[in-house]
Amino acid sequence: MELRSVEELMDLLHACRGSWDAPGLRSRRVDLHQHALQTAALLRRRRPADKELQVAGLVHAIGPLLRPGDEAAHPDCAADAVRGLLGERVSRLVREHHRCELPADDDLLRLRQADEEGRSAGFDAGVLEDWRTVLELVAARNSRLGAVD
């Protein structure tokens, strides 16, 4: 599935509410919707100018909704789904963040850290609608870059 609009992506992110990641591989199961918001908020605090990194944090956990039951395929499914809309960098970060080994790309390391911290963070990360403008900005920038290629 390839997401074609910010509205489709927002609908998918809303659908994450009440969905949980698979048990077993991680220390703590999390609500995917809240986890996405917390991961993105942590990245916004640490890298306020890097909208693509923040968006990668927001969308990194959509894989379970795209391919339920196939945990190994979740990062690739999520990355493929957002590539056309949000661009190659966001897609690469989503695909590779779980494979992050040291020494690693600084952006991947930051995403991985926020992903882990977002599993236990207990702060109010706001609401999904707060991210619409950032998603639209990244999508528009990617659209313009694609038109130049």
Predicted confidence (pLDDT) per residue in 66-100, tens digit = 888 777 788 899 999 999 999 999 999 999 987 75
**pLDDT score for 29:** 67
First vs last C-alpha separation in the chain:
23
Does the pLDDT value for residue 52 go beyond 90? yes
The residue with greater pLDDT, 9 or 66, is: 9
DSSP string across 95-125: HHGGG--SS--HHHHHHHHHHHHTTT--S--
3-state helix vs strand vs coil in the chain, percent to 5 = 65, 0, 30
Instruction: Say yes or no to pLDDT of 15 above 70.
Output: yes
> What does DSSP assign to residue 59?
H
Residue 114, both tokens: 């926020």
Torsion 30-98-116-27 (CA) sign: positive
d(CA 40, CA 76): 19
pTM of the model: 0.87
Q: How far apart are CA 34 and CA 120, in angstroms?
A: 11
Every domain of the chain and the residues it spans: 29-148
Q: Taking the alpha carbons of 68, 127, 96, 141 in that order, is the dihedral positive or negative?
A: positive
